[in-house]
Chains A and B, each alone.
Chain A
Amino acid sequence: MSIEIQGLARQFGDVRVLRGIDLSIPKGELLALLGASGSGKTTLLRILAGLDWPNAGSVRVDGQDWLALDAQRRRAGFVFQYYALFPHLTVADNVAFGLTVLPRRIRPPAAEIARKVATLLDLVQMGDYGRRFPAQLSGGQRQRVALARALAIDPDVLLLDEPFGALDAAIRKDLRGWLRGLHRKLGTTTIFVTHDQDEAFEIADRIVVFGEGRIEQVGTPDDIYERPASPFVARFLGGVNEIAADLRQGRFRVAGADASALERQVGGDGAVTLFVRPHEIDIAADGAGEGTITAVVPGSVSIRYRVSLPRQAQPVEVDLPREAARGRDLSAGTRVRVTLLRGRIFGQAARTASLAEQSLAASAL
């Protein structure tokens, strides 16, 4: 089912939690909602599920007005962050719930329900656990039961609120691939909320970056990472350097660093802030270089260097792949030549907006 959201707004008292959401989701898409805590992701999902209503806006699913339907009739499978399994029912009865509450005339016979439950439990790899109670399952197992329970009603839309939020890192990784595969098999239009960007990047067809009740950017993982639409998005994806630079006749100049490789700009002379990711900077030991390594932080895939540059308030963070770093003889105190490989600036308007948003985000946290 395709989903068409327009002008959706929701406020609680004076707090405007959603401030005009426009989003269209084609049938069968797996969409990730990525955003900071408190940015309104759950609120949006609850409105889609029929558990909350907006103050303004519309939600259409395949052309039908969903806001006129109550939760019972939307056939939206909702999975809560903390699963919300029914503790007094066995795993099988949990999964069967959506079928056993059907009106008698359309309810399938018990044998058929049992068959369907068994199929679903196999699908989520919980075939042997039907007789257990939720309290006897691990977090990952509960999560899968909750998903099977949502799938039992053959949902038109699947809404997952931080489906792996309560699990530890290793299990999360496992379940990501598994969810991706499951979606490929079922093709149900799915929206899942996360604030783990790796998770969003790995699973989703498209990502919606949420900031304070507004959509900052919608796009494929590549779009979002390579072409962030605003400073907010660039910052949200983490670890971006904000480097003070001068723009003159389309060329960037950064004191103490070589910025000649950067794309030429059209007009807009003056002081600018360059957004550069740590892996978009190269360094090499050079006694005549103007950068100085102040710290070395080894990671599993790459090594991070903190490099101080003249006239930068903050040291610049640089990531070198371990292979590249080998043999370059870089350690704290080494003087280095710094080369910027890529970077981007945002318009003056965007910059001021980002400052306002930043202070908003700070006050929300």
Chain B
Amino acid sequence: MAVIDMPAPAERAARAAGSPAGARILIGIAVVLTLAFIVVPVVVIFAQAFARGLAPYLASVTERDTLRAVGLTVLVALLAVPVNVAFGLVAAWAITKFEFRGKKFLLTAIELPFSISPIVAGVAYILVYGSNGLLGPFLEANDLRIMFALPGIVLVTIFVTSPFVVRELVPLMQVQGSDQEEVAATLGASGLQIFWRVTLPNIRWALFYGVVLCTARAIGEFGAVSVVSGHVRGETNTLPLQVELLYHDYNAAGAFAAASTLTLIALATLAIRAVIERRLPRTGRVGH
């Protein structure tokens, strides 16, 4: 987020300072910092990935374990994102359409995964689901394997990415209020009809936006997944873990190749974001 917003505060500060020279200096600093901290490293990834030409790059990317990592990552995202969409819709609906005690607490709790270090989240899951954890004996008795397997990876990914959808929906739905839903009810629409025909169309861009951010994070999550995955090559390694693994194997080309795929996903997210942002209502009303 800060990436894109960075020049804006500088400009605003310059306007407050009121001098064109001051503005130029501040803008200059912002641009240099952006280049140094963000653009250059990204460019380097691609430069390194293609350092020995296209053929080695393709070979690295299509290497068996890397392909498996890509497959696992996609699978995890496909499982985690829908769960968070459902969770986000329910939570946003509850928060914005009803008055209840503990609402503030719920709002804060939902944001928790953002303020907690992902690695702590991973450790917490181990303490609950691991063999020495809270539910460990029960899981073992029933021959259920959660840690160091797909379920564990999906669970921590859901945890880490859970705020994205709610965060996009709540402010929008707060602005929109309940008038339209209430009118729909007086016109005879059932609860489901109201959701599909009134609420969803009004929040669709914000929802989509939340899904994009959620997906990007689900694909890129490293810390929490690293704790619970067990790092089994070709089995429980997601793409970010694979990058790390290749790197530690002194397979720089492979690492950069895998990293470049992740970066491409991130850039695609950015592009989609830019498109959606233009469609997102600033006044709380969706344009056509």
User: Secondary structure at chain A's binding surface: helix, strand, loop or mixed?
Assistant: loop
Query: Which bracket fits the contact residues of B?
Result: 20 to 34
Bound CA span A365–B282, Å: 31
From B179, B188, B285, A72 is in contact (CB under 8 Å) with: B188
Cβ of B185 under 8 Å from chain A: yes
Bound CA span A133–B193, Å: 21
Pairwise interchain contact A97-B286, C-beta atoms closer than 8 A: no
Q: How far is the CB of B184 from chain A (nearest CB, A)?
A: 7
Cβ of A193 under 8 Å from chain B: no
Assuming the contacts A80-B179, A82-B179, A101-B193, asked whether A87 and B186 have C-beta atoms less than 8 A apart, the reply is: no
Pairwise interchain contact A71-B179, C-beta atoms closer than 8 A: no
Pairwise interchain contact A88-B286, C-beta atoms closer than 8 A: yes
Q: Tell me the count of chain A residues lying within 8 A, CB to CB, of chain B.
A: 28
Cβ of B197 under 8 Å from chain A: yes
Which of B180, B187, B288 is the most central at the interface, judged by chain A CB atoms within 10 Å of its CB? B187
Within 8 A of A (CB), among B55-111: none
Bound CA span A153–B185, Å: 12
Cβ of A228 under 8 Å from chain B: no
Cβ of B252 under 8 Å from chain A: no
Name which residue of chain B comes closest to A76, CB basis.
B186
Within 8 A of B (CB), among A220-253: none
Q: How far is the CB of B154 from chain A (nearest CB, A)?
A: 34
Assuming the contacts A71-B182, A84-B180, A88-B202, asked whether A101 and B285 have C-beta atoms less than 8 A apart, the reply is: no
Cβ of A210 under 8 Å from chain B: no
Pairwise interchain contact A87-B190, C-beta atoms closer than 8 A: no
From A50, A82, A86, A149, B185 is in contact (CB under 8 Å) with: A50
Pairwise interchain contact B288-A101, C-beta atoms closer than 8 A: no
Bound CA span A78–B288, Å: 26
Pairwise interchain contact A51-B186, C-beta atoms closer than 8 A: yes
Pairwise interchain contact A153-B187, C-beta atoms closer than 8 A: yes
Pairwise interchain contact A71-B185, C-beta atoms closer than 8 A: yes
Cβ of B201 under 8 Å from chain A: yes
Pairwise interchain contact A84-B202, C-beta atoms closer than 8 A: no
Cβ of A49 under 8 Å from chain B: yes
From A80, A82, A97, B187 is in contact (CB under 8 Å) with: A97
Cβ of B123 under 8 Å from chain A: no
Cβ of A353 under 8 Å from chain B: no
Chain B residue numbers with a CB within 8 Å of A70 are: 185
From A78, A88, A135, B183 is in contact (CB under 8 Å) with: A78
Cβ of A130 under 8 Å from chain B: no
Chain B residue numbers with a CB within 8 Å of A97 are: 184, 187, 189, 197
Name which residue of chain A comes closest to B285, CB basis.
A87
Pairwise interchain contact B288-A84, C-beta atoms closer than 8 A: no
Bound CA span A356–B285, Å: 43
Q: What are 9 A-B contacts with C-beta separation under 8 Å?
A: A50-B186, A72-B188, A73-B188, A84-B183, A88-B286, A101-B187, A102-B188, A133-B288, A150-B186
Besides A87-B288, A97-B184, A97-B197, 19 other A-B contacts (C-beta < 8 A): A50-B186, A51-B182, A51-B185, A72-B188, A78-B183, A78-B186, A80-B179, A84-B180, A86-B201, A88-B286, A98-B187, A101-B184, A101-B190, A101-B193, A135-B288, A149-B187, A152-B187, A153-B187, A153-B188
